[in-house]
Structure 1
């Protein structure tokens, strides 16, 4: 994904956060699924079908930013006549290089179980 600010040149800092947020909201279908972690710590039946909802972008330092977002999960088990839904809120850091390329610092979404939660 390549970000192009309205001013043309990328001037890193908190002033750029609004434009980055708008860009990330508009382009969520291109990257959103990659930011939803493995949901096995909730249930092996938990699924995300809606991608993410962008909440905020904040400047950290230099060309590093933080994206705060939410994602929905649901569990449907017809055999138990059960449907559960929930929402998780998290954040991820990312960099914007001088060419406008955005690279998320995605941690390995390895499988977890309920013991990891304790």
Structure 2
């Protein structure tokens, strides 16, 4: 799944520091997309607001980049006596275009019953 983060950049090839700065400004928009795999752990798993941290951005070739990040998630289930907080590290590829950054995010949306028919 490709997601566009609208953030026009002045140069055709921004530095990794510029990209990191732009992405940090849009973290709240990106967080739901980068944390969608929490359903893998549990339906009760929740992203800890504000915990998304951009660790590193590397240029792969031309306009293609790789970004590593980390965030915290929390799960509470009184019935199962679970109350824990963990940190997850991840990475995602993106491409810089004049209109913004296009992220190649794995779609972790669970299938609906209609999809199974």
Give secondary structure in 2 for the equivalent of 1:47.
strand
RMSD (CA atoms)? 1.8
- In 1, the alpha carbon distance for the partners of 2:82 and 2:106 equals 31
1:39-58 aligned at under 5 Å gives the runs 39-50=38-49, 52-58=52-58
More strand by share: 2
- In 1, the alpha carbon distance for the partners of 2:30 and 2:46 equals 17
TM-score (norm 1): 0.76
The residue that corresponds to 2:72 in the other structure is 72
Give 1:80 shift: 4.4
Unaligned runs of 5+ in 2: 1-5, 111-117
* Residues 2, 17 of structure 1: alpha-carbon distance in 2 compared, 3 angstrom cutoff: same
Moved more, 41-50 or 58-67: 41-50
Unaligned runs of 5+ in 1: 112-118
The structure with higher relative contact order (CA 8 Å, sep 6+) is 2
The residue that corresponds to 2:31 in the other structure is 32
Q: Is the 8 A contact 2:48 2:71 kept in 1?
A: no
TM-score (norm 2): 0.77
Superposed CA deviations along residues 46-79 of structure 1, whole A, max 9, x for unmatched, are 1113252111111011100111001211111234
Superposed CA deviations along residues 20-52 of structure 1, whole A, max 9, x for unmatched, are 011111211122211113223322321113252
